Chains A and B, each alone.
Chain A
Amino acid sequence: MPRGEEGPGWSEYVLPALRPMNAIQAEREEGFIIERAVGNFLLEHAPFYRQGDITDIVIEEVPMGEGFVNYHAVVAFTKKEGDQI
C-alpha cells in the first residue's frame, strides 16, 4: 500500500480506488476507505496504538484519470485518556 507522509501524531495513507459511479457506490466506498485507512494505521502502529487512539481522519480525493482516484487519508492519533470536551 503506498505510504504517504507522516508527522507528529499522524500518518498518511494513499488508498487507490475506482471512482464511484453513483451515490450508493460512493457511500459504500467511503466506509471502505475509512476501514482501509484504519487497517493501515493498525498495521503500522499496533499494539502501541489502538483503534480507539485515532483522534481524526482527513480524507482528500485525488483524481488519477481513467476512472481511478487516490484517497489520501491522514490518520491522527494520540494516547487518549477519555472523551474530549
Chain B
Amino acid sequence: MFQHIDADILEIIRYTVKDRGLWRVSKEEGFDLIREMYEKISSVYGFPTPALVEDSREVYWVTPERIGLPKVSLVSSLHEYRHHMQKHQKQHYSDIEVDARGWSISAFHYALPEDFDSAWRRGLIWFLPQYGSE
C-alpha cells in the first residue's frame, strides 16, 4: 500500500463516485465520468489526458496514451491511469504492476474507506493487499 496519495486526487475520486454516482449510472455515462476523472487528475499532475475507449479487456497503449476498459470499474480505471502516470515519470515501485496495483488500491482505500472495506470483504478487488485483521 502507498502511504500517501495527494488529497486532490482523493477528492476527485470521491466526487466521481459519490457526487456523480459512478456506480449508479449507465455504462455510457460511467465511461464519460471516468473520462472526466482522468481530465481532472491529469490537470492536477500536468499530464496530457489519456484517451479512454471501450475494449474487450483492460489495456494501456503507451505510445498513443490510450486506455481500454471493458466495463465501468473504479479500481481498474485507476490502475490503468497509473500506467499512464508511469509513462510520465510518476512511479514509486520499480515493478510497474506492483506500482499500479498498489497505487490504485491505496487511492480507493484512502478516498472511500467504507466502500473499500465492503469491497475487500466481498472479494471485489483482484489484487488484495495485506489489510485488516482476521
Contact = CB atoms under 8 A, between A and B. Distances in A.
Indicate the size class of the contact surface on chain B. Answer: 20 to 34
A17 interface: no
B25 interface: no
A30 interface: yes
Interface string A1-41: 00000011110000000000000000000100010000000
A60 B62 contact: yes
B125 A60 contact: no
A66 interface: no
A31 B123 CA distance: 31
A9 B71 CA distance: 22
A58 B60 CA distance: 5
Given A7-B98, A56-B80, A80 B126 contact: yes
B100 to A, nearest CB: 8
Given A56-B57, A56-B58, A59-B62, 10 more contacts: A7-B95, A34-B57, A54-B57, A57-B58, A58-B96, A76-B97, A78-B126, A78-B127, A83-B71, A85-B125
Interface of A: 7-10, 30, 34, 54-61, 74, 76, 78, 80-85
